[in-house]
Amino acid sequence: MIGGLFIYNHKGEVLISRVYRDDIGRNAVDAFRVNVIHARQQVRSPVTNIARTSFFHVKRSNIWLAAVTKQNVNAAMVFEFLYKMCDVMTAYFGKISEENIKNNFVLIYELLDEILDFGYPQNSETGALKTFITQQGIKGQHQTKEEQSQITSQVTGQIGWRREGIKYRRNELFLDVLESVNLLMSPQGQVLSAHVSGRVVMKSYLSGMPECKFGMNDKIVIDKQGKGGTTDDAGKSGKQSIAIDDCTFHQCVRLSKFDSERSISFIPPDGEYELMRYRTTKDIILPFRVIPLVREVGRTKLEVKVVIKSNFKPSLLAQKIEVRIPTPLNTSGVQVICMKGKAKYKASENAIVWKIKRMAGMKESQISAEIELLPTNDKKKWARPPISMNFEVPFAPSGLKVRYLKVFESKLNYSDHDVIKWVRYIGRSGIYETRC
Amino acid sequence: MTDSKYFTTTKKGEIFELKAELNSDKKEKKKEAVKKVIASMTVGKDVSALFPDVVNCMQTDNLELKKLVYLYLMNYAKSQPDMAIMAVNTFVKDCEDPNPLIRALAVRTMGCIRVDKITEYLCEPLRKCLKDEDPYVRKTAAVCVAKLHDINAQLVEDQGFLDTLKDLISDSNPMVVANAVAALSEIAESHPNSNLLDLNPQTINKLLTALNECTEWGQIFILDCLANYTPRDDRESQSICERVTPRLSHANSAVVLSAVKVLMKFMEMLPKDLDYYGTLLKKLAPPLVTLLSAEPELQYVALRNINLIVQKRPEILKHEMKVFFVKYNDPIYVKLEKLDIMIRLASQANIAQVLAELKEYATEVDVDFVRKAVRAIGRCAIKVEQSAERCVSTLLDLIQTKVNYVVQEAIVVIKDIFRKYPNKYESVIATLCENLDSLDEPEARAAMIWIVGEYAERIDNADELLESFLEGFHDESTQVQLQLLTAIVKLFLKKPTETQELVQQVLSLATQDSDNPDLRDRGYIYWRLLSTDPVAAKEVVLAEKPLISEETDLIEPTLLDELICHIGTLASVYHKPPSAFVEGSRGVQHKRLPARAGSGESAESPEVGQSGTSEAPPAVIPSQGDLLGDLLNLDLAPATTTVPSVQPSMQMGAMDLLGGGLDSLMGDESDTLGGDIGGSPSMGAALGAPAAMPAALSNAPAVGGGLGDLFDLGGGVGMPTGFYVAPKTLFLPAMKAKGLEISGTFARRGGIIQMDLSLTNKAMSVMTDFAIQFNRNSFGLAPAGPLQVLTPLTPNQTIDVSLPLGTTGPVMKMEPLNNLQVAVKNNIDVFYFSCQYPLSLLFVEDGKMERQVFLATWKDIPNDNEAQFQIKDVHLNSDAASNKLQGSNIFTIAKRTVDAQDMLYQSIKLTNGIWVLAEMRVQTGNPNYTLSIKCRAPEVSQFVYQCYELVLKN
């Protein structure tokens, strides 16, 4: 299991050091600094073995988190734990920075004591932790016996993510379907790979221990229901349903029920959390198409023309559009003409950045640029990195639709109809690239 | 909230000041001081001098302060054991606190203080906490047992904590169950043989129930523990799989990977024709793909594991090639791993896409990545024949870029492509030759020289090219020198007239001016070959090379199986068994995949191809009459005179040396040829044919194999002994044969099988006209010549004869397999006896398999054909044993040492072409070896094992 956990700043100074196992000595702290942080060559693996000691590291801005072990630990678990540790810290004091870590080092030690015991991760749900570890010192001395046992049963219980006795005057929930659409397209416009990775994020402000059921236009479910109804019905709904390649759920979802009936039922944590993640690859709506044209005019000049076309309902508006056209390292000057938005050559980033605030569906826009090059002796050709794009659209490119989210709370007197529900779809660009 | 100020106290006299503050009356000041102490501790300052003062702050109601003091204690108690005892009272008191959080805190901290005196006091509170009414305390206590065990294992056993821990597996709270499982698993690891984690269907059921309810981390503990269980049959295995599959949709990647581990392992037991087996295979792909959308570090772990899964079960991900395409922004470690998997998944169906991708990659920035991409293009050419042409043209395009490392990498892979498709792409040689000057890496230079030598007849100025390399001969690396030597000899054999001077020059450079023994020896061998028999030299040096294998970097099958049992862990990331990086004995026991259940067997067992044994008609032992008939039909001409010479009895020593030396040199050469592709085409094959050898060496090849790769083994322990010949045994007593007594034994000498017989006349009259005949037998053994009894056998005289045997006689399966029925005739009568020969008689000299072929074959032969044996009381180390075995044509191909255990991989070829593969485990200090034998004809395993026994014990 995890033998120790260290946090370093970018200089390699230790900010937090907690050793859980006897086989990890103080020299391990230095070994990591010398061999990884100060390594002459950039380290090429997130797992490093130095003198039979294994170091797992992740970096958040310029802070290094390293878990150390001498055993054959579950590597996936160690990384998941490090991410979780980052989430917990962020939930407590915001951004992970040297300043924040130094300011909260007592709290961090307390958390580390609680969520990692002898190197075994324990309950690390922020919701539960916040009931007894707070920034204002520890509660505890003033708690009643009932409160204490409520804390412990929540931390260890089946529903460790939610405490009893939550009350809201207004029962309300928000569902955000956040998708990022990824594309790799060849210069000829052929889709090399495309997938949507989506998340359903839920903010719940519900009283008691509500039992929820979530439904979406999952092809498997719709097809199953379609069999019961008329064939005509099935054909109609078949069009609207989507094929989900795979999905994963927050630990509140009953997985065995999903496996057998494909129904998503759960008791949600209070506040914001990620209900599910999913991935689709079929019938993706690609919101934009990028058509590049690069021409080398002699050895010292490049002509670039890029057309973007929006491909969705004209009534919808895409926002925050940004097209990034890479330029060679030996670029000496750039002249840009664009029909819409603003374009600028950014020498420090070796790219032309073209920004458009808003663009409706079924429109087209174009940019052309002349790039002057300095002559070089470098024999190696310019690698031509792909043209990348960023945007945000108000629909789900995968075609996912929320069909229902039913809430049942038998003990309290509110019903599904009393809950105010909000649904929002946002499609963003993931890695959306076109080779040129 | 600005705790950062505690980090900034660096002035002198700090400790003294802190001491004063710690003893202050004001609570706030005390707390501040403790925080400063902890901050100093964190940055590595020694604040142990403050021990008594800090411990004094322990008695407080302020929980925050208490936790800080505990933190200090955990760090320094070990260095101040006597002082630490001061804290015991507070701990014991806290363990009785009404607040469960404080009870748990106390027991948790106490377990972390590794001081004997404190652990004594820990026992009572721990016992109470294990039975505490609050689950939070129980789950903490469960882990504490593991802590205590780490400090004092005996104490834990004596106090009976293990039983209490086992009871906790049935606890009502899922987190308590999970922590108990984790603690027990850890303790069990240091007691490999204890039955601590007594996994039976009832406990498994409890675990599976808890699995649905506990935290994500608990699920990991439980799944990892489940993976150690071996179900009783395929039905239990299926029912566990069914209950584990829902975990594949968990958001936590570690839960998913641990579930994959359980499924991959238990799947081994499911019959392949079962519907559920197919369903399971389909269910595995999507979650594995989803892992690739996790954070990069986890992607890396996932990819390393997928690499194993693809090798074990390629069918799972064969349609998912696209997801492994490299993204521009992937970190380099993810890129390299993806590339690896792409090559493994490349097939005819997706090769066009793969190639287009690889071409893109070859223009990227990172040198390692580009090199690997270029190499991958070559691999594709070798793997998918249809794409070879496109790959070659892609490589040529890349060479045109003139980027130095791209060109060099391309040349190295083109060499392999030439090997795979001879006489197809040689037209590109001209382009390659243009780049000769830019090659500065040894591997690329060696590859280029190999190409020039191999195709010397097509390159007009081959002599000039090679001569240009010769100028700086002594500055080249060994690899290049050896290659240059061979290439020039090849050139000479192809164009003897123009290149005599060149070959003289290189031979003298290699033999006289070099102090590298390998180079010198190879030079001498060539020299001698060329001067004695150029025709033979041609056959040896220009021999046809065996094909190179398609797959590379395959992990050895046993290691692969072991790594599959470690999916998700560090072992699977390093692709090494835990013993390679974990100190001590903890958790390094070898794990094995379970054996497939009986039901699926028939569907799987392959048709035995070449083996004569299993295709032979069912064994019918012929009646005496038949045998008699057979024999009488034969022409039993009196063999008194016709053949004059007796087989020369061979002097082995000297010839062994020559033969062995030669063989290993050739092997060595071909190794460098094969280069990194790992195909080591054995030149030894060419040596197998005695005709190819110069007269002086004519006896060598036969025994040469015996030395095979003496150098490869690195042991150099000494000469292997020759074939073990058992002492003669009585075959036919005089009483049964009217006074003729026959005893004998079998031997294999220089590739020739001989039956050594002693004939004794115990009758009163002279015996003449001896003849011998065999009944049909399993391997077609038959006399290759007449029985040479030249003079009449007078009473009381004994004659020793050697009867050469061939293996081309009629075949019939015998029972036992190695039974031989013999008829001997003399002037008095015909006598029958049966005897058994050691199977090693049939082990041929060229039975050394290439490593790659071995790996593939081992994988190919179903596990059901594996037989395991124990060889007891052998007092040899592994090198000596493998030397000894080599004398009997049991060849060691590779040796792997895993924590004091040597694994020898061996191959044997029988005269009828059956290959037998074996894995022998030798543990230092343990006289018992474990032998696993795999063969397509499993009937022979038993007899092969007997040979091992025989050879090793004599």
Touching check for B467 and chain A: CB below 8 Å? no
User: In terms of C-beta density within 10 A (0-12 exposed, 13-18 middle, 19 or more buried), how is residue B647 classed?
Assistant: middle
Q: What is the pLDDT of residue B648?
A: 40
Q: What is the pLDDT of residue A142?
A: 56
Q: Does some domain include residue A79? A: yes
Residue A330 pLDDT level (bands cut at 50, 70, 90): confident
Q: What residues contact residue B241 under an 8 Å CB cut-off, 6+ apart?
A: B262, B263, B266, B267, B270, B276, B280
pLDDT of A159 strictly over 80: no
Highest mean pLDDT among B100-104, B309-313, B492-496: B309-313
Contacts of B365 in chain A (CB under 8 A): 383
pLDDT of B265 strictly over 90: yes
Q: For residue range B442-461, what is the model confidence (pLDDT) as tens digits? A: 999 999 999 888 888 888 88
Q: What is the pLDDT of residue B701?
A: 37
* Lowest mean per-residue pLDDT among A113-122, A320-329, B700-709, B730-739: B700-709
Q: Does some domain include residue A131? A: no
| A321 & A409 share domain | no
pLDDT of B682 strictly over 90: no
Q: Please state the three-class secondary structure of chain A as a single string.
A: CCCEEEEECCCCCEEEEEECCCCCCCHHHHHHHHHHHCCCCCCCCCEEEECCEEEEEEEECCEEEEEEECCCCEHHHHHHHHHHHHHHHHHHHCCCCHHHHHHCHHHHHHHHHHHEECCEECCCCHHHHCCCCCCCCCCCCCCCHHHHHHHHHHHHCCCCCCCCCCCCCCCEEEEEEEEEEEEEECCCCCEEEEEEEEEEEEEEECCCCCEEEEEECEHHHHHHHHHHCCHHHHHHHHHHCECCCEEEECCCECHHHHHHHCCEEECCCCEEEEEEEEEECCCCCCCEEEEEEEEEECCCEEEEEEEEEECCCCCCEEEEEEEEEECCCCEEEEEEEECCCEEEEEHHHCEEEEEEEEEECCCEEEEEEEEEECCCCCCCCCCCCCEEEEEEECCCCCCCCEEEEEEECCCCCCCHHHCEEEEEEEEEEEEEEECC
Q: For residue range A2-39, what is the model confidence (pLDDT) as tens digits? A: 999 999 999 999 999 999 998 888 889 899 999 999 98
Q: Does some domain include residue A342? A: yes
The pLDDT > 90 percentage for chain B reads 22
pLDDT of B10 strictly over 60: no
**Total domains, chain A:** 3
Sequence-distant contacts of B27-35: CB under 8 A, at least 24 apart:
B27/B60, B27/B62, B27/B65, B30/B57, B30/B65, B31/B62, B31/B64, B31/B65, B31/B68, B32/B6, B34/B65, B34/B68, B34/B69, B34/B72, B35/A106, B35/B3, B35/B6, B35/B68
| A276 & A414 share domain | yes
Touching check for A404 and chain B: CB below 8 Å? no
pLDDT of B649 strictly over 70: no
pLDDT of B777 strictly over 90: no
> Of B779, B455, B729, nearest to B611 (Cα)?
B779
Chain centroid offset of residue B439 CA: 35
State the smallest CA–CA distance between residue B538 and chain A in angstroms.
Answer: 44
Q: Which among A108, A124, A140 is the end of a domain?
A: A124
* Lowest mean per-residue pLDDT among A137-151, B332-346, B532-546, B808-822: A137-151
- Mutate one of A71, A86, A103 to test the B interface: name it (highest B CB count within 10 A): A71
Q: Does some domain include residue A198? A: yes
pTM recorded for the entire structure: 0.70
- Average pLDDT in the A280-284 region? 91
Test A123 with B175 for CB contact under 8 angstroms: yes
Q: What is the pLDDT of residue B8?
A: 63
Contacts of B263 in chain A (CB under 8 A): none
Q: Does some domain include residue A44? A: yes
Q: What is the pLDDT of residue A381?
A: 66
CATH of the domain at A25: 3.30.450.60
- Mutate one of B186, B247, B298, B335 to test the A interface: name it (highest A CB count within 10 A): B298
Q: What is the pLDDT of residue B676?
A: 37
pLDDT of A218 strictly over 70: yes
| A259 & A312 share domain | no
Highest mean pLDDT among B81-85, B182-186, B475-479: B182-186
| A23 & A117 share domain | yes
Backbone angles phi, psi at B632, to 5 degrees: -70, -30
| A222 & A367 share domain | no
Question: Across all residues in chain A, what is the average pLDDT?
Answer: 88
Taking CA–CA distances from A246, the nearest residue in chain B reads: B286
Q: Which of residues 264-323 of A touch B (CB under 8 A)?
A: 274, 276-277, 279
| A22 & A94 share domain | yes
Q: How far apart are CA B707 and CA A146, in angstroms?
A: 81
Q: Does some domain include residue A159? A: no
pLDDT of A79 strictly over 70: yes
Q: Does some domain include residue A411? A: yes
pLDDT of B692 strictly over 60: no
- Average pLDDT in the B511-529 region? 89
User: In terms of C-beta density within 10 A (0-12 exposed, 13-18 middle, 19 or more buried), how is residue B96 classed?
Assistant: exposed
The one-character DSSP state at B30 is H
| A297 & A367 share domain | yes
* Lowest mean per-residue pLDDT among A90-104, A372-386, B144-158, B238-252: A372-386
pLDDT of B621 strictly over 70: no
Report how many Cβ contacts below 8 Å link chain A to chain B: 292
Contact (CB, 8 A) for B411 and B435: yes
pLDDT of B696 strictly over 80: no
Q: For residue range A163-201, what is the model confidence (pLDDT) as tens digits? A: 778 889 899 999 999 999 999 898 888 898 899 999 999
Containing H/E element for B832? Answer: strand B830-836
Test B108 with A117 for CB contact under 8 angstroms: yes
Contact (CB, 8 A) for B850 and B546: yes
Q: For residue range A368-404, what is the model confidence (pLDDT) as tens digits? A: 999 998 887 765 667 788 899 999 999 999 999 999 9
| A279 & A345 share domain | no
Neighbours of B172 (CB within 10 A): 9
Neighbouring-strand partners of residue B742? B732, B759
- Average pLDDT in the B590-603 region? 59
| A419 & A356 share domain | no
Contacts of A199 in chain B (CB under 8 A): none
| A254 & A180 share domain | yes
Q: Give the residue with greater pLDDT, A60 vs B750.
A: A60
Q: How far apart are CA A180 and CA A186, in angstroms?
A: 20
Residue A428 pLDDT level (bands cut at 50, 70, 90): very high
pLDDT of B707 strictly over 90: no
Residue numbers of the domain that contains A94: 4-124
Residue B689 pLDDT level (bands cut at 50, 70, 90): very low
Backbone angles phi, psi at B816, to 5 degrees: -65, 170
Q: What residues contact residue A136 under an 8 Å CB cut-off, 6+ apart?
A: none
CATH of the domain at A198: 2.60.40.1170
Contacts of B302 in chain A (CB under 8 A): 76
Q: Does some domain include residue A161? A: no
Contact (CB, 8 A) for A73 and A2: yes
Q: Which among A90, A124, A158 is the end of a domain?
A: A124
The one-character DSSP state at B520 is H
Touching check for A72 and chain B: CB below 8 Å? yes
State the Rg of chain B over Cα: 36
pLDDT of B167 strictly over 80: yes
Contacts of A255 in chain B (CB under 8 A): 212, 246-247, 249-250
State the smallest CA–CA distance between residue B448 and chain A in angstroms.
Answer: 23
Backbone angles phi, psi at B833, to 5 degrees: -150, 160
| A256 & A306 share domain | no
- Average pLDDT in the B741-757 region? 85
> Of B748, B753, B745, nearest to B780 (Cα)?
B753
Question: Across all residues in chain B, what is the average pLDDT?
Answer: 80
| A334 & A425 share domain | no
Q: What is the pLDDT of residue B712?
A: 38
Residue B647 pLDDT level (bands cut at 50, 70, 90): very low
Residue A260 pLDDT level (bands cut at 50, 70, 90): confident
